[in-house]
Amino acid sequence: MEEVFSQPWFLRKHQDGSVFGPISFDQLSGWASAAQVAPHDLVSTDQQTWLKAPMLAQLAMDWLVEVTSEHYYGPTTVGAIQEFIRLGDIKADAFLINSCDGTRRQIGEMPALFKTNATASKTSAGDAAVEPAAAGISIRLQERIRDLEQTLREERRALAEAEQSYEKLEEKYNALLQRGGPTA
């Protein structure tokens, strides 16, 4: 767990493939809290193996914003939600879902979200050129549908491969049983 915090990190933006880094984990975490890391963005320590940012538990991208009854944004961080509130992208009547425990609450019921994060570090103007732009919460329905369809295709392919492997193993097992199987 300690290595997560001490390793250099890279961020690859889903939207255009641009890569940022190497950066410290603290900087990556700060970007996530400032809505600069979107749910489909990827993170890596070696630029070979990439992981969707929300899968890195230490980033605390644990919240889904219910934009409409059928559209969600996230998972994202509390800091990013605060930024969306500040920008007016979401209002107090929007709902949040904690993806860790499944609770669903209206933003207005969570007054801590309306407090500004005084500890958030702002980078100097010179550093701004090497950081990702803040993500908007706008829903591009066609893009979201494409992403979900791609994920579904990948899951179906993985399921088909697993089923084929299972069938082959089952055939081998049955062949062993017919030959008398392993003796005890």
Mapped onto helix, strand or coil, the DSSP state of residue 20 is strand
Q: Which residues contact 36 (CB under 8 A, 6 or more apart)?
A: 131, 132, 133, 134, 135
Q: pLDDT tens digits, residue range 125-162?
A: 444 447 777 666 655 556 667 777 888 888 999 999 99
Tell me the domain boundaries of the chain.
2-117+134-139, 140-179
Mapped onto helix, strand or coil, the DSSP state of residue 64 is strand
Q: pLDDT tens digits, residue range 112-129?
A: 776 654 444 444 444 444
pTM: 0.62
For helices 25-33 and 78-87, give the axis angle rounded to 10 degrees: 40
Distance CA 171, CA 38 (A): 45
